Amino acid sequence: MVTQDRATKRSIDPATQSMLRIAAKQGRETAWKRLAVQQPMCGYGELGVCCQNCTMGPCYIEVFEKNGPKKGVCGATADTIVARNLLRMIAAGAAAHSDHGRDVVHTLLLTAQGKSGGYAIKDEAKLEALAREYDIEVEGRSKEEIALDLSHATYAEFGNQEGPIRSTRRAPEKRVELWQKLGVDPRGVDREIVESMHRTHIGVDNDYVNLILHGLRTSIADGWGGSMIATELTDVLFGTPEPVRGVSNLGVLEADQVNIIAHGHEPTLSEMIVEAAEDPELIELAKKQGAEGINVVGLCCSGNELLMRHGIPIAGDFLQQELAIITGAVEAMVVDVQCIMPALPKLAECYHTKIISTSPKAKFPGATHIEFCEEQAYEIAKEIVRTAVENYPSRNLEMVNIPEETSECMIGFSVEAILKALGGSLDPLLGAVKSGAIRGITGVVGCNNPKVRHGYGHVTLVRELIKHDVLVVTTGCNAIACATAGLLLPEAAEQAGDGLKGVCEALGIPPVLHMGSCVDNSRILTALAAIANALGVDISQLPAAGAAPEWMSEKAVSIGTYFVSSGVFTVLGVAPPVLGSANVTKLLTEGAEDVIGATFAVEPDPAMAAVLIRRHIENKRNALGLPAVDPETIAVTTSQPAD
Ligand code: SF4
Ligand code: MSK
């Protein structure tokens, strides 16, 4: 039986802890339990030295034992195998983000053609600004005409055979020149992903440096291409986020309402679910079923998208998805793509919850499949909501356990919103950085991973950074962890150092700025580019860093790689599967500095990760001639080990 102590060791969040205890009492299986059953994990897989790229294998490399294979059947070394595996991870992550981006373009195209079932263009100013970026005529044209041309232009970017991708030119000139010099200035993301798969086929690219360089190129095509297009066109369709207040954690589920959780990533689905849930006919039906109303909440990045545009409550992050079902109060969990555990339908069988899959790309055996298509978006969303409402009478009240905990947050800091908060110019921020009131900026992002105490890596790192006057920008599941910990409130400035606190109080902003979902890491790139351009330097010269304390997904590998490719030192809390090759590890953690101007570091202790970041920031300040402290005087700090 899971003791209270074990639940506490697994998560820092009281709501998660109480649900873990209920899960244990009810004998339910969760990711934590499955992780325990998986022990010991495959050491070859952990080191990245297992290859299955042809049927002469699978092969493995013995790294530590003297007597053991040092080459695959084809002769591939540990360097080749590790680099190939890493490139495939980057390609998969880039594919996920960018395919999401393509779906957003598709929705804009249908909307422009008058064929979409309920979407409209909400941000005309952004539509026009993007159109100008793509040399599309704006004057005297309707928004639909402009959107039609913009959707064709952005669609074409994905398959762009020769490059460059237009939005990569937002990067500082020096960065683009470096990419060109290294041969990593990307063509369309589809082409780079296909080439990744080609290069990693048996008997093609065996040079680990050449493989990693193509990894950089593929990730740039994602961050500055597919993901950036996803972010920008999502804003055009659904509105560019502005600061709003919201609520986070499992306590947002309502005991007397139909609870629908939108989980996954694509706002095309979740936005329509929200609209359909406001349909008087369905509210009436909910009342007939005995409910007080319909409560739509989000989870993971669908949750981030709804939270930042509408202030719709978010029930939790990646590791809370199973716990949400275990509350026994969820009529439907509606999913599309990415970060949806295959375990959900089986778990839902223990309750009345319906798992409703909606994407032809992601079917879940045991789930109810109601296929979503943009042409009939509203009607399908109504059918999904109706299915949830009609499920309300099946709720077993004896099984309902909704934790009380909720946290308030202020979210929606798009680049445009940050500029607005600064009074329309970057100058106040630049002034604060130059004076040292703000030492630097760090993007803390990424998933949860049951190998790390849930929330501990995220919250400890962010607290350490703001305490030492580092402004944090956040996305993805880090953003949700910060919301739950109360760090996304202006009042959290009390936990910041005096300099950052003063800036936050003057501007009325939190010390941790929520910038959105996973694809919205592109907003961090846009912000860093704007700051670098304003200072006339490259991104690699900025007192800036990135971190992913609890990451697990291939998308996070692509994100980390495009951060580094953009010149941002990035600290990972979980080691990627590269340690089986000393050469690849050295290239990523040391050699990359001379090549691309930034490196990765791996540091499981979030307090120590903060030290690494602060030292890096002070080094960069010093190089820019800004007031800096000697990095060596920043003492090594360690925190309690994560369980
Ligand atoms: Fe083994 Fe080489 Fe085939 Fe990989 S590609 S499975 S290392 S023979
Ligand atoms: S949802 S990719 S677990 S951040 Fe975007 Fe969270 Fe990571 Fe998924």
Q: Is 56 in the pocket of ligand 1 (CB under 6 A)?
A: yes
Mean pLDDT of 572-599: 98
* Sheet with strand 600-602: strands edge to edge: 512-516, 470-475, 440-444, 544-548, 569-572, 600-602
Answer whether 349's CB lies under 8 Å from 366's CB: yes
CA 328 to chain centre: 28
Give percent of the chain above pLDDT 90.
Answer: 97
Mean pLDDT of 98-108: 98
Q: Among 60, 73, 79, which residue has the most ligand 1 atoms within 8 Å of its CB, making it the best to mutate?
A: 73
38: tokens are 């998986």
Burial class (CB in 10 A: 0-12, 13-18, 19+), 387: middle
Omega of the bond prior to 577 within 30 degrees of 0, cis? Answer: no
**513 Cβ partners below 8 Å, 6+ apart?**
413, 418, 471, 472, 473, 474, 488
Which three-class secondary structure state does DSSP give residue 108?
A: helix
CA atoms within 13 A on the CB side of 431: 7
Q: Is 530 in the pocket of ligand 1 (CB under 6 A)?
A: no
Q: Is 76 in the pocket of ligand 1 (CB under 6 A)?
A: yes
Q: Which ligand 1 atom sits nearest the alpha carbon of residue 57?
A: 6
Ligand 1 centroid to residue 221 C-alpha, Å: 28
Ligand closest to Cα of 54 equals 1
Radius of gyration of the CA atoms of the chain, in A: 24
- Smallest CA-to-CA distance from 309 within 274, 277, 334 is with 274
Burial class (CB in 10 A: 0-12, 13-18, 19+), 385: buried
Other C-beta atoms within 10 Å of 302: how many? 31
C-alpha–C-alpha distance, residues 633 and 614, integer Å? 11
- Closest residue by Cα to atom 6, ligand 1, is 57
- Closest residue by Cα to atom 3, ligand 2, is 447
Residues belonging to the chain: 643
Using one digit for the tens of pLDDT, what is the confidence trace for 444-485? 999 999 999 999 999 999 999 999 999 999 999 999 999 999
Q: What is the pLDDT of residue 4?
A: 53
Ligand 2 centroid to residue 520 C-alpha, Å: 11
- Closest residue by Cα to atom 8, ligand 2, is 339
Mean pLDDT of 529-543: 97
Which three-class secondary structure state does DSSP give residue 211?
A: helix
Confidence at 5, pLDDT banded by 50, 70, 90: confident
Q: What is the pLDDT of residue 639?
A: 82
CA 211 to chain centre: 25
Which three-class secondary structure state does DSSP give residue 333?
A: strand
C-alpha–C-alpha distance, residues 520 and 94, integer Å? 13
Give the ranges where 566-605 is alpha helix by DSSP (H).
Answer: 582-586, 592-596
Using one digit for the tens of pLDDT, what is the confidence trace for 156-197? 999 999 989 999 999 999 999 999 999 999 999 999 999 999
Residue with tokens 């064709």: 152
Q: What is the pLDDT of residue 643?
A: 43
Which residues surround ligand 2 with Cβ inside 6 Å? 265, 300-301, 318, 339, 446-447, 476-477, 517-518, 553, 555-556
Q: Is residue 640's pLDDT more than 80?
A: no
Confidence at 442, pLDDT banded by 50, 70, 90: very high
Answer whether 390's CB lies under 8 Å from 258's CB: no
Q: Is residue 132's pLDDT more than 90?
A: yes
Confidence at 642, pLDDT banded by 50, 70, 90: very low
Ligand 2 centroid to residue 632 C-alpha, Å: 35
Q: What is the CATH number of domain 250-399?
A: 3.40.50.2030
460: tokens are 């400890």
Q: Is 57 in the pocket of ligand 1 (CB under 6 A)?
A: yes
- φ/ψ (deg, to 5) at 238: -115, 0
Domain locations along the chain: 4-60, 78-238, 250-399, 407-633
Using one digit for the tens of pLDDT, what is the confidence trace for 312-353? 999 999 999 999 999 999 999 999 999 999 999 999 999 999
407-633 shares the fold of 250-399: yes
Which CATH architecture best describes the domain 78-238?
Up-down Bundle (1.20)
Other C-beta atoms within 10 Å of 349: how many? 12
Q: Is residue 619's pLDDT more than 90?
A: yes
Q: Is 206 in the pocket of ligand 1 (CB under 6 A)?
A: no
Ligand closest to Cα of 444 equals 2
Mean pLDDT of 350-364: 98
Q: What does pTM read for this prediction?
A: 0.97
Q: Among 520, 553, 557, 559, which residue has the most ligand 2 atoms within 8 Å of its CB, making it the best to mutate?
A: 553
Mean pLDDT of 298-311: 97
Q: Is 59 in the pocket of ligand 1 (CB under 6 A)?
A: yes
Mean pLDDT of 59-73: 95
Q: What is the pLDDT of residue 280?
A: 98
CATH of 407-633 among 3.40.50.300, 3.40.50.2030, 1.10.10.10, 3.90.1150.10: 3.40.50.2030
Confidence at 286, pLDDT banded by 50, 70, 90: very high
Ligand 2 centroid to residue 262 C-alpha, Å: 14
